[in-house]
């Protein structure tokens, strides 16, 4: 897929993902991507070694949290600029081969942020736990109620122009990262579209929906982030 002179970077937050990460790295279309950065978020397995062996740049961020890992990766890209950043999880739940479909609308000038929607795509049985699907539906309902935009998902597989990402001044260090990006994109009048993406059962255990504590904490953080952004400038 020709992108002209646009450079694409992939940012993969990873905490104890040595099992799934090699498959993710092997499936990324290297003809589209210039740089892959894996942010090791304090793993105690061989995540960093698998990342380096797979040809990725490795950034270490010991402060735990999905958002912390993403912020550390963004800081790396500030020193090594790209035009588009693709966020991708390390667990093989999303299909990295679909990366061009997320990048294409941005490269074509049609969008600033493209979100892969798991809820409109084909899902493997058991891939998205019922409570996780319900939480997503509740969150997007609240976004529609408060901001007037209908999303279908808060999917982590997404692409965004780097300059647009910088304009959002992202802050969240934990579970509110994806919803913060979507709400701030609306408040900053970015062009946002969703595309359906398939979703598979992840390799390894989920750190969020795989535990009751993780599910409750993520749900509370997401909902509180929506309310906070509704009533702040």
pLDDT band at 23 (very low <50, low <70, confident <90, very high): very high
Q: How many domains does the chain have?
A: 1
- The model's pLDDT over 80-135, given as tens digits with 9 standing for 90+, comes to 999 999 999 999 999 999 999 999 999 999 999 999 999 999 999 989 888 888 88
Round to whole Å and give the CA distance between 33 and 30.
5
pLDDT band at 1 (very low <50, low <70, confident <90, very high): very low
The residue range of the domain holding 198 is: 8-230
Residue 197 tokens, joined? 């993406």
| 214 has a pLDDT exceeding 90 | no
215 torsion bin: left (phi>0), alpha (psi -120 to 50), beta (else): alpha
The percentage of the chain sitting over the pLDDT mark of 70, rounded to a whole number, equals 94
Q: Residue 155 sits in a domain of what CATH number?
A: 3.90.550.10
- The model's pLDDT over 33-84, given as tens digits with 9 standing for 90+, comes to 999 999 999 999 999 999 999 999 999 999 999 999 999 999 999 999 999 9
Residue 1 lies in a domain: no
As to burial, measured by CB atoms within 10 angstroms (0-12 exposed, 13-18 middle, 19+ buried), residue 150 is exposed
- pTM of the entire structure? 0.93
- The model's pLDDT over 200-213, given as tens digits with 9 standing for 90+, comes to 999 976 655 555 56
| Predicted local distance difference test score (pLDDT) of residue 220 | 87
Residue 3 lies in a domain: no
DSSP characters over 7-49: -EEEEEEESS-TTTHHHHHHHS-TTT-SEEEEEE-S-SSSHHH
């Amino acid at each position: 897929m020709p992108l002209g002179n646009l450079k694409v970077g992939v940012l993969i937050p990873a905490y104890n993902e040595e099992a799934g990460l090699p498959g993710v790295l092997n499936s990324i279309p290297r003809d589209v991507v210039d740089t892959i950065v894996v942010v090791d978020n304090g793993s105690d397995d061989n995540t960093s070694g698998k990342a380096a062996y797979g040809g990725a740049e490795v950034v270490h961020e010991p402060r735990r949290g999905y958002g912390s890992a993403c912020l550390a990766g963004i800081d790396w890209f500030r020193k090594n600029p790209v035009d588009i950043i693709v966020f991708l999880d390390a667990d093989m739940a999303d299909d990295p081969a679909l990366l061009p479909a997320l990048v294409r609308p941005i490269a074509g000038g049609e969008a600033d942020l493209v979100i892969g929607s798991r809820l409109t795509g084909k899902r493997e049985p058991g891939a998205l736990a019922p409570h996780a699907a319900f939480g997503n539906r509740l969150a997007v309902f609240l976004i529609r109620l408060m901001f007037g935009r209908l999303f279908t998902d808060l999917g982590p597989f997404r692409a965004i122009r780097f300059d647009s990402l910088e304009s959002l001044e992202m802050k969240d260090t934990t579970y509110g990262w994806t919803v913060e990006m979507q709400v701030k994109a609306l408040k900053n009048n970015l062009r946002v579209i969703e595309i359906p993406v398939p979703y598979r059962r992840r390799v390894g255990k989920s750190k969020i929906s795989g535990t009751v504590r993780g599910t409750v904490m993520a749900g509370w953080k997401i909902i509180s982030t929506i309310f906070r952004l509704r009533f702040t400038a």
